[in-house]
Structure 1
Amino acid sequence: MATVKNVVPDRKAYIIPTSTNAGAFWYRKDWFKEAGLGPPKTWSEFFTTVDKLTEPEENRYGFTIRGGSGSIAQMLEVVYGQSGLTAFFDPTGKATLNDPRNVTALEKYAVLYKKNTPEGDLQNDYVKMVAQFDTAGNIAVMQHNLGSYQDHMKALGPDKVGSFSVPRSDSGTQSVLSSPVSGVAVFSAGKQKEAAFELAESFASKQADSYIAEKTGVIPANKDVAGEPWLSEAEHIAEAQRVMNDPETKVVQMPYHLPEFNEITKTWAEPLFQKVLLGRLGAKEFLDQFAARLTEAQAAYKKRIG
């Protein structure tokens, strides 16, 4: 509900939420078992783990970076997860993205490219990333979200694939990015509002919410679904809920309220992030420019809403 209300200026709920997603790191259980490793709990453990599982001569890589379309959200998840920062903007409206702790975090992340990942990752979108992890089977850890659950189960099955949440920062902070919330709304101009609202209620009901969440692998919004038998077998959702229900977890609200956010992250940032991976642009310079654009967009937003 907090996410639903935070994306609009008046902080009211305009949809009935039905589900949400969460960042997840999918990993090869069989590889981890062979190496005597467990899912990493901190970022230091994460970097050590992917390094141990990298064997280029065997065409095995500890990680796959999403360098192509859709790369920025995953990069931000790694950066804020490592730094432990808990907000995109400080109280004055200045973006925190270029905080020195974030710069260091991005530098550590970018170093993984070609060292612990395939070289082709520079152009990786979701389809290519999943193909490497599921079909080629040469990746130990893949970062995505709960939405890719069905792909992994069909290709590899629960005995070979598990998930762990965003690791804690080395200082102990659990920072996770907010995820978009799916839901249903009734348009005020509609001619059949009562019938539409009944339909919206049915989608948000325990029965429908449980069915949709089970088939898609995401977190159901209806709390009454919590006791459903299938949830006890859904390890990936149990892991995500463990983190989200922990009172010490800090949710970094993504600035979805900014109309410019999609253009900034997709059109502007993605090509420059590729330059960072190639070593042609420094992490600090990239994040300085990124933060400046977000700060400007936030100021314009505040001015518009008064």
Structure 2
Amino acid sequence: MKKYKVLFATALGLALTAGSALADSTIKMVEVITSPPRTEFLKKQIAEFETANPGVKVELVSLPWGQAFEKFLTMVQAGDTPDIVEMPERWLALYGANGQLEDLGPYMAKWKDAATLGERAKEFGSVVGGKQYTIPYGYYLKAMFWNKKLFKEAGIDHAPATLDEFVESAKKISAIPGKYGYCLRGGPGAIFGMNMFMNIANGKGGYFNADGTATINEPGSVKGLETLAEIYKNGYAPKDSVGWGFNETVTGFYSGTCAMLDQDPDALIGIAEKMKAEDFAVAPVPAGPNGKSYPTLGYSGWSMFANSDVKDDSWKLMETLLSPQGNLEWAKMVGVLPIHNGSDQDAYFKTEQFKGWFDELNGGDKYEFVTPPTHLENLGNFVDQIAIKGFQEVLLGKRPAKEVADEWAAYLTKEQQDWMAKNKK
């Protein structure tokens, strides 16, 4: 019996194989952006794959997102590597730069569905050494959820179009007893919303200047960080939001605790289940003093470890999940924008619910999308540890925003300039 290792989030394999003969091969798969509904949906897709491929079993391992970076790193360091892993963009360089991931280019060359694969998927999946170390399964693009009922109660009839309007709206709504203007995210994943507001205030997208110096401590960026700190200190965001991650911010919004939330399409799933469609809307992210906005565009995908001894079966599973139909179903379930050309014409996406995201996508030069610097090997450490600690210190008034931003800039500048030195052409 071959041993196929593919770690794929949540304990799945046992139920699927109960009462059946032992599999001829086993794929070990790890899921890291875990939630019960998406894991159950993933199990359904895996079950369909197993039915279509007798003798192949998939072991799914789900890691809690809040501890996923450290837990998965520990697994890899212990030699417990999967065949397939869900790969957030900021982990890609860590595992791709040292050859731990399989180059998927040769597989894609023979993949019939590559014909409709969007160029962004090819581009984003090959940022490390020009090799296709991952195939994104969808894109996370930030837009602004706003609670129409709370806005009306505060005497406001539209979503904020500028950063100044955003702060003023948060102030007015927070004057309502027991309500807050903004669902601030100070815990896991905080950097992307934080950096977005820093870019908006700075009037410059991205993370680096041409010489590799970080922009995160430029005067405008620091002002953006200070703006978020003032929102928190003035009580325009819940006190415990200093530790909030994805689930807490989404709950804060649909419960009516806070009236604005910058989030990706994945938040729409839970919100739409809890709120009436007429009570909320999704608008583009507010613009800064220069009239432009810089929404964060992130992505995650599926990657294969190079030491897998079941690569053919692993790829077969990946191409099933990433097929136009499989990806469209997955995108609807987990809340991402799909990867295949033409998917946006599906009736599911042609609704008012998705208007904010598509206004950004179709908004021309007014919106400049910012993707994380996934080519940096230590980006995961910065995103999941260093940035969160510093942001919380600023929010709680323990350290000045400029001091923390300078610390971040020193770290990022070294990472970027080291990368530039190694990749001189």
User: Normalising TM by the smaller chain, what interval?
Assistant: 0.7 to 0.9
CA distance in structure 2 between the aligned counterparts of 1:9 and 1:69, rounded to whole angstroms? 24
Distance 1:67 1:188, change over 3 A: closer
How far apart are 1:28 and its partner, in Å? 0.9
Distance 1:157 1:97, change over 3 A: same
How far apart are 1:192 and its partner, in Å? 5.7
Distance 1:33 1:185, change over 3 A: farther
Q: In structure 2, what is the equivalent of residue 74 of structure 1? A: 193
Would you say the 8 A contact 2:233–2:395 is kept in 1?
Answer: no
Would you say the 8 A contact 1:219–1:237 is kept in 2?
Answer: no
- TM-score for the superposition, normalised by structure 1: 0.88
CA distance in structure 1 between the aligned counterparts of 2:134 and 2:189, rounded to whole angstroms? 25
Greater Cα radius of gyration, structure 1 or 2? 2
CA distance in structure 2 between the aligned counterparts of 1:192 and 1:268, rounded to whole angstroms? 35
CA distance in structure 2 between the aligned counterparts of 1:93 and 1:52, rounded to whole angstroms? 40
Q: In structure 1, what is the equivalent of residue 282 of structure 2? A: 163
How far apart are 1:3 and its partner, in Å? 6.7
Would you say the 8 A contact 1:68–1:270 is kept in 2?
Answer: yes
- TM-score for the superposition, normalised by structure 2: 0.65
Alignment match of 1:87 (pick from 193, 196, 206): 206
Question: Helix, strand or coil: the match of 1:26?
Answer: strand
- The one-letter code of the counterpart of 2:213 is K
| 1:245 corresponds to 2:340 | no
CA distance in structure 2 between the aligned counterparts of 1:305 and 1:196, rounded to whole angstroms? 31
| 1:143 corresponds to 2:262 | yes
Would you say the 8 A contact 2:253–2:261 is kept in 1?
Answer: yes
How far apart are 1:90 and its partner, in Å? 0.9
Would you say the 8 A contact 2:282–2:355 is kept in 1?
Answer: no
Q: Counterparts in 2 of 1:184-199, with a 5 A limit? A: 193=312, 199=317
CA distance in structure 2 between the aligned counterparts of 1:273 and 1:4, rounded to whole angstroms? 33
User: Structure 2: which 5+ residue stretches go unaligned?
Assistant: 1-118
Q: Counterparts in 2 of 1:33-44, with a 5 A limit? A: 33-34=152-153, 35-44=155-164
CA distance in structure 2 between the aligned counterparts of 1:26 and 1:102, rounded to whole angstroms? 23
| 1:128 corresponds to 2:248 | yes
Alignment match of 1:278 (pick from 375, 382, 396): 396
Q: In structure 2, what is the equivalent of residue 50 of structure 1? A: 170
How far apart are 1:188 and its partner, in Å? 9.0
How far apart are 1:252 and its partner, in Å? 2.3
Question: Helix, strand or coil: the match of 1:269?
Answer: helix
Q: In structure 2, what is the equivalent of residue 269 of structure 1? A: 387
How far apart are 1:231 and its partner, in Å? 1.6
Question: Helix, strand or coil: the match of 1:133?
Answer: helix
- The one-letter code of the counterpart of 1:247 is G
How far apart are 1:87 and its partner, in Å? 2.5
CA distance in structure 1 between the aligned counterparts of 2:146 and 2:227, rounded to whole angstroms? 20
Q: In structure 1, what is the equivalent of residue 336 of structure 2? A: 218
How far apart are 1:196 and its partner, in Å? 5.4
Could you say which structure has the greater relative contact order, defined with CA pairs below 8 angstroms and 6 or more residues apart? Answer: 1
User: Structure 1: which 5+ residue stretches go unaligned?
Assistant: none
CA distance in structure 2 between the aligned counterparts of 1:17 and 1:9, rounded to whole angstroms? 14
| 1:232 corresponds to 2:350 | yes
How far apart are 1:99 and its partner, in Å? 1.0
Q: What percent identity do the matched residue pairs reach?
A: 25
CA distance in structure 1 between the aligned counterparts of 2:353 and 2:130, rounded to whole angstroms? 31
How far apart are 1:302 and its partner, in Å? 2.7
Q: CA RMSD in A?
A: 2.5
How far apart are 1:200 and its partner, in Å? 4.0
Question: Helix, strand or coil: the match of 2:165?
Answer: helix
Q: Could you give the per-residue CA deviations for residues 96-155 of structure 1, whole angstroms, max 9, x where no partner exists?
A: 1111111111111210014212222222223333333223x2211123322111111122
Corresponding residue pairs, total: 302
